[in-house]
Structure 1
Amino acid sequence: MNNDPRSHGLWERTAPPAPETAPLRGDAIADVAVVGAGYTGLSAALHLAETGARVVVLEGEAVGFGGSGRNVGLVNAGLWVKPDLVPAALGPERGERLLALLGDAPRRVFDLVATHGIACEAEGAGTLHCAVGPKGLADLEDRARQWQARGAPVRLLDAAEAARLTGTPAYAGALLDERAGTIQPLAYARGLARAALAAGAAIHTGSPVLGVADEGGRWRLATPGGCVSAEWVVVATNAYTRAPWPEIRAEIARLPYFNIATAPLSDNLRGTVLPGRQGAWDTKAVLTSFRLDAAGRLVIGSVGALRGTGGPVHRAWARRTLRQLFPQAGDVPFEAEWYGQIGMTTDALPRFHRLARRVVAFSGYNGRGIAPGTAFGRVLADLVAGTITEDALPLPVTAPVPIGFQAVRELAYEVGAQAVHLGEARLPGRRAEGRGDLISRSGRNGTRPE
């Protein structure tokens, strides 16, 4: 997008075309204006349009331009924080409500894919959280116990089972979550947009919101080409928030995450690398994620930005890591690379905000956007439609609180990831255990990609 091959990489090359959209020209009337055409905004628009509401989506760039079109494509259940920490933070009733909603969220994604015929390489085979050393295995044992106590279909695998399902003996075990899976993330976003249009929503890309005014009962949203008048506003911009809601951007620190894709593996190699088609990531502080796409490309990712000195550092790390994990793949060439930003909150929990009268938002997905974004979009649609009240929300209503030392944190993430990847080069074959300071400072239990 925007003639930048490092913005969406492989996903832009292999996704079906986006539905036809155009910038807003002139004035429009809506019941609901949705700002942001990512998973949350498109899910809200689709579900509201299906109730008969007049919905106008305003997107500053293109459908899926932000994190929704750049992520790994892991459709995970729950949050990054361990389940028992959620009711401890939010209270028993609301915490368990959030866990139930997000535990079921992957099913919502795959149901929408099936219902609307979205071509997005959906695979419901589960995901593998891979243990690096005894400390990583102990962490997964604790996670498994907490999810199993809630009836979730998760299973702790020993080293031999983990090796069989990943194709590498590098891990001490793995947590298999059968609720989860993978998709082509940009294709899913474009499919949601197509479904929302078919349901009657209007989507205007290239239409950043420059200003918002309360006109006594209705909101007027100004774009470069026109204005929308609406009773409700849903703000769904998260890490890519710009004016006129700077408070959302101020409450998160942006953590960069990159992916590099190989050329398609041979049929023989595909039988030895992730043979069950699960997506995977590990327990390291600066984690490694890996998955296959439908054509058999191996996509490997980690924290970092592919710009400046980060480009060569992270490419070299990706090559070394592939050789360590999958020596059978040899020097299979890389054919795409891209990166984006993850919105991190101080406690690794998302936020719900009432920014003004009938202006609502979820933000702070902490590396969990696909399934939660889809589920939260449905929640926002139900709230706006009046089928639920704020008392029934999975999160409390809070005011945005600026994150301290935001610029310093963001620089530390980017530079720190380079330092870690360079450090691993000096210790070939060694894979650090557990969580270090780089990521864990962003929340109680780090982050995890999608």
Structure 2
Amino acid sequence: MENLWAATAPAITPFARLEADITADVAIIGGGYTGLSAALQLAEAGKSVVLLEARSMGYGGSGRNVGLINAGLWTPPDEVETLIGDTSGKKLNAALAGAPALVMALIEKHNIECELTKTGTLHCAHSEKGLADLKARLAQQKARNAPVTLLSREEAAERLGTRLFHGALHDARAGTLQPLAYARGLARAARDNGAQLFEDSEVIRAVADGTGWRLETREGSVKASQLIEATNAYECRKTPPRYTPVYYMQCATDPLPDELRRKILPGGEGCWDTAMVMSSFRLDAAGRLIIGGVGQLDAPGERVHFSWAARKMAQIFPDLKGQGFSHGWHGRIAMTGDHVPKIMETGDNRISIFGYSGRGIGPGTVFGQAAAQWALRGDRSVFPVPAVPNYREKRSQIMARYYQAGAVAAHLTGARRKG
């Protein structure tokens, strides 16, 4: 099965492979939301910028995620402020609260066709304990004047088309989009504004020479004064990752009949639940039901994950029992222990940004613009989080195996009964 987003995203004129030695003010590694957002803003500011992508624009998590434009992180805002300090936490919370508005403004400004919806998201309580968690999140968001509403079980059932959940938290700031189409739209806009973008151009060597950076690919090179590494979970290094790699899989049906589309998610909100091993579900513009959960589809346990997805879909929406899937794919997430993104600044005109922990669209766009401001101003105060000279998640490979095994175990028995 193939990635639905790759099958349905509007085509874009391909980008060339780097086959020459060129210079620029700023070099960017990575053609996802972060790198593309940075390249676009730098080009608009008149800087010469070169972006190198090892595969194709949006190939990584930017073209494989659920497509929810969320405000904030998985971690509740009070906890964010406890984890990284009151001042830094408030700065990060404020920046990410505005992330959906920033994404939507870029889409409008650059006429990006990406199936944008602005009807919000629904965080669904899978149990009474989950509902209590949503009530706590509601209080924290209300204290920050966020437009969030807690729906009763009956209200949630009307919005969702299922009575499975105990309630839901609606965030009016949020929305959904076609994630690969958004990435390609940013790439087109960056190119239209003068950025030089190259695909199939993996950086095989990066050397600092005291005056800047020289990035070498198999057939060319870039000399630049500043370097932004924006590969997140798709870095090409042979060394152990600085984060815990976690896989998230999704399955999509064929477009549903009109009578079912009118009943299931009639408002088009994107959804996820409060379970420890969470699941997500949404519709795309054509009316396909897309359901996802932690898991890797090209590893042992693939059949388990597909079977779970079918059971979970039927559990949430009984009318879809027996409905098959036409698409299936997965992507890699850069998970950090506190679910807070990281910026490494090593003092040699280089920054590395990673660790969105499954929240890439809004944070990636915000952090990309912050990276551009850093390159323009040379001021680390523009970062949404304090920069650190080094970061590496402990026991990342062990934790990666733990997450994968846990997902297989949970999906082996999950969604076999209601409640």
TM bucket normalised to smaller: over 0.9
Name the counterpart of 1:382: 373
Moved more, 307-316 or 259-268: 307-316
- Corresponding position of 2:157: 163
1:429 is aligned to 2:417: yes
Report the Cα distance in structure 2 between the residues aligned to 1:356 and 1:60, rounded to whole angstroms: 25
CA contact (8 A) 1:18 1:63 kept: no
TM-score by length of 2: 0.97
Q: Which amino acid aligns with 1:243?
A: R
Q: Which runs of 4+ in 1 moved over 3 A?
A: none
SS in 2 for 1:321: helix
Q: Is the 8 A contact 1:19 1:190 kept in 2?
A: no
In the alignment, does 2:191 pair up with 1:197? yes
Quote the Cα distance in structure 2 between the aligned partners of 1:356 and 1:61: 29
What CA distance in whole angstroms lies between the structure 1 residues aligned with 2:67 and 2:339? Answer: 19
Match runs of 1:18-57 below 5 Å: 18-57=12-51
Q: Which residue of 2 aligns with 1:314?
A: 305
Determine the structure 1 residue equivalent to 2:11.
Answer: 17
Matching residue's letter, 2:200: G
Give the distance between the partners of 2:414 and 2:127, measured in 1 at CA.
16
Which residue of structure 2 aligns with residue 353 of structure 1? 344
Whether the 8 Å CA contact 1:19–1:193 is kept in 2: the answer is no
* Partner deviation per Cα, 1:128-148 (whole Å, 9 max, x = no partner): 000011100000000010011
Tell me the alpha carbon deviations over residues 210-235 of structure 1, each in whole angstroms, 9 at most, x when there is no partner.
11112231211111111100011010
Among residues 369, 372, 380, which one is paired with 2:360 in the alignment? Answer: 369
2:414 partner SS = helix
1:79 is the counterpart of 2:73:
yes
Match of 1:319, SS state, is helix
Identity %: 46
Match of 2:59 in 1: 65
TM-score, normalised on structure 1? 0.91
Deviation, 1:311, is 1.6
> Is the Cα–Cα contact under 8 Å of residues 113 and 182 in structure 2 kept in the other structure?
yes
Match of 1:342 among 325, 333, 336: 333
> Does 2:270 correspond to 1:279?
yes
Report if the CA contact (8 A) 2:310-2:321 is conserved: no
Aligned to 1:411: 401
Which blocks of at least 5 consecutive residues in structure 2 are unaligned?
none
Q: Which residue of 2 aligns with 1:250?
A: 241
Trace 1:204-283 onto structure 2 (pairs within 5 A): 204-243=198-237, 246=239, 250-283=241-274
Change (3 A) 1:116 1:392: closer
1:300 matched to 2:291? The reply is yes
Within-5 A mapping of 1:110-125: 110-125=104-119
Is 1:323 matched up with 2:314? yes
SS at match of 1:289: strand
CA RMSD of aligned residues (A): 1.3
Query: Is the deviation greater in 116-125 or in 408-417?
Result: 408-417
Query: What's the CA shift for 1:279?
Result: 0.2
Note the residue ranges of structure 1 that are not aligned, 5 or more in a row.
432-450
Residues 14-57 of structure 1 show CA distances to partners (whole Å, capped at 9, x for unaligned) of 00113320110110110000100000000000000000000100
State the AA in 1 paired with 2:337. Answer: T
Shift of 1:202: 0.6
Give the whole-Å Cα distance in 2 for the aligned partners of 1:368 and 1:303. 14
Q: In structure 1, what is the Cα distance between the partners aligned to 2:396 and 2:88? A: 29
Partner Cα separation in structure 1 for residue 12 and residue 237 of structure 2: 25
Say if 1:60 and 1:205, in contact at 8 Å, map to a contact too. yes
**Is the contact made by 2:345 and 2:390 (CA closer than 8 Å) also made in structure 1?**
no
Supply the AA of the counterpart residue of 2:389.
A
1:239 and 1:254 in contact (8 A); partners too: yes
Deviations, residues 182-225 of structure 1 (Å, cap 9, x unaligned): 00000100010000000000111111111111223121111111
Distance 1:32 1:269 in 2: 50
Matches of 2:337 and 2:30 in 1, distance apart? 23
Letter in 1 for 2:161: G
2:70 maps to amino acid: N
Secondary structure class of the residue paired with 2:326: strand
AA in 1 matched with 2:209: E
Larger deviation, residues 137-146 vs 302-311: 302-311
Figure out how many residues of one structure are paired with residues of the other and give that number: 419
Whether contact under 8 Å (2:83, 2:338) holds in the other structure is: no
